[in-house]
C-alpha cells in the first residue's frame, strides 16, 4: 500500500493517546473528543475514515461503514493492533504531522522564529518544523528520542533503523 493510499482514521474520545501515536507515524488521524458518537460516525463515513473505538455499543448500534474495535488498553498496544489490522506500512519519516491538530508540518525558517512565543528550540537546532495551522514548533530533542525508543521497543523490526 503506497503512502498516497494510506488509510485515514478518526479516534473516539477514549483513544487520544493512540491518535497522537498515529500522528507521530504520519497517519492522518482526526481526534475531536467533543464529538458525540453519532457525530463521530457521520465524520468517519463522510470522509472515508476508519473509526477507531473501544465502545462496543457504538459499533453494534451505530454501525459505522469502516470501524476497528480496539481491544488493548495500553496506547502502544493499541497502535500495534491498528498496524496489524490495517496492514500499515512503516512511515517514511516520523514527526511530520502536528500532534495537536493533525496538520502536516512545514519546515520553519530560522528568521521567522525570533518573534515566535515560547517554547523555542535551542539555538542551532535543526531541522525545525512548524504547524501552519496552530503555529506550534517541532524539533528533534529528548522528547522525540524517547518516543522513537518507545516505538522501537513496542514495534520491533517494523520501523526502519529500529
**Which grid coordinates belong to 134?**
496552530
The answer as to whether 25 is a domain residue is yes
**106: Cβ contacts below 8 Å, ≥ 6 apart:** 129, 130, 131, 132
User: Per residue in 83-142, pLDDT tens?
Assistant: 999 999 999 999 999 999 999 999 987 677 666 666 777 776 778 899 999 988 898 989
CATH of the domain at 26: 3.40.1360
Note down the domain range covering 48.
1-95
87: left (phi over 0), alpha (psi -120 to 50) or beta: left
Q: Is residue 10, in this structure, part of any structural domain at all?
A: yes
Assess if residue 139 is contained within a domain. no
**Is there a domain that residue 102 lies in?**
no
Q: Give a three-class secondary structure readout of 43-96.
A: HHHHHCCEEEECCHHHHHHHCCCCEEECCCCCHHHHHHHHHHHHCCCCCCCCCC
How many domains is the chain partitioned into structurally?
1
Residue 36 lies in a domain: yes
* In-domain check, residue 53: yes
Residue 156 lies inside a defined structural domain of this protein: no
124 assigned to some structural domain = no
pTM: 0.91
What's the confidence (pLDDT) of residue 31? 98
Nearest to 53 by CA among 34, 39, 40: 40
- Report pLDDT digits (tens) over 40-66: 999 999 999 999 999 999 999 999 999
Q: What is the pLDDT of residues 69-87, one digit of tens each?
A: 999 999 999 999 999 999 9
Amino acid at each position: 500500500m503506497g503512502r498516497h493510499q494510506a488509510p485515514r482514521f478518526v479516534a473516539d474520545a477514549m483513544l487520544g493517546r493512540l491518535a497522537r501515536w498515529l500522528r507521530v507515524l504520519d497517519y492522518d488521524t482526526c481526534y475531536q473528543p467533543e464529538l458525540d458518537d453519532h457525530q463521530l460516525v457521520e465524520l468517519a463515513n463522510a470522509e472515508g475514515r476508519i473509526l477507531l473505538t473501544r465502545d462496543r455499543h457504538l459499533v453494534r448500534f451505530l454501525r459505522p461503514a469502516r470501524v476497528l474495535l480496539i481491544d488493548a488498553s495500553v496506547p502502544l498496544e493499541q497502535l500495534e493492533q491498528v498496524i496489524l489490522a490495517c496492514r500499515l506500512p512503516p512511515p517514511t519519516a516520523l514527526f511530520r504531522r502536528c500532534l495537536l491538530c493533525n496538520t502536516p508540518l512545514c519546515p520553519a525558517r530560522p528568521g521567522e522564529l525570533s518573534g515566535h512565543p515560547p517554547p523555542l528550540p535551542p539555538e542551532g537546532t535543526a531541522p525545525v518544523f512548524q504547524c501552519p495551522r496552530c503555529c506550534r514548533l517541532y524539533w528533534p530533542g529528548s522528547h522525540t528520542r524517547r518516543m522513537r525508543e518507545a516505538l522501537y521497543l513496542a514495534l520491533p523490526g517494523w520501523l526502519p533503523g529500529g
